[in-house]
């Protein structure tokens, strides 16, 4: 039976934009490519909201152990 490990990355959003110091699309692409090179596969992206109208998005990655 295959076994997997998981990695969760959460980013705060501000008015629909990622609130990451120094964020730019090229850097996010680099990070995603780095994770892919390490065997991580993006399996879900989950938007989240709270009562305080704070927004975030969660990326879920998995790779075989």
Tens digit of pLDDT for each residue in 6-61?
999 887 766 655 565 555 678 778 888 999 999 999 999 988 776 666 677 889 99
Strand spans (E) along the chain = 4-14, 17-18, 41-49, 55-64
Q: Are 17 and 63 in contact (CB under 8 A)?
A: no
pTM across the whole model = 0.72
Measured CA to CA, the distance from residue 28 to residue 59 in angstroms comes to: 12
Q: How sure is the predictor about 62, in pLDDT bands with cuts at 50, 70 and 90?
A: very high
Nearest to 9 by CA among 55, 45, 53, 50: 45
Q: Is 4 helix (H, G, I), strand (E, B) or coil?
A: strand
């Amino acid at each position: 039976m295959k076994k997997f490990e998981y990695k969760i990355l959460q980013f705060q959003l501000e008015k629909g934009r990622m609130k990451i110091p120094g964020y730019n699309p090229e850097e996010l692409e680099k990070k995603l490519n780095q994770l892919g090179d390490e065997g991580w596969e993006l399996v879900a992206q989950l938007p989240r909201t709270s009562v305080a109208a704070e927004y975030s998005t969660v990326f879920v990655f998995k790779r075989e152990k």
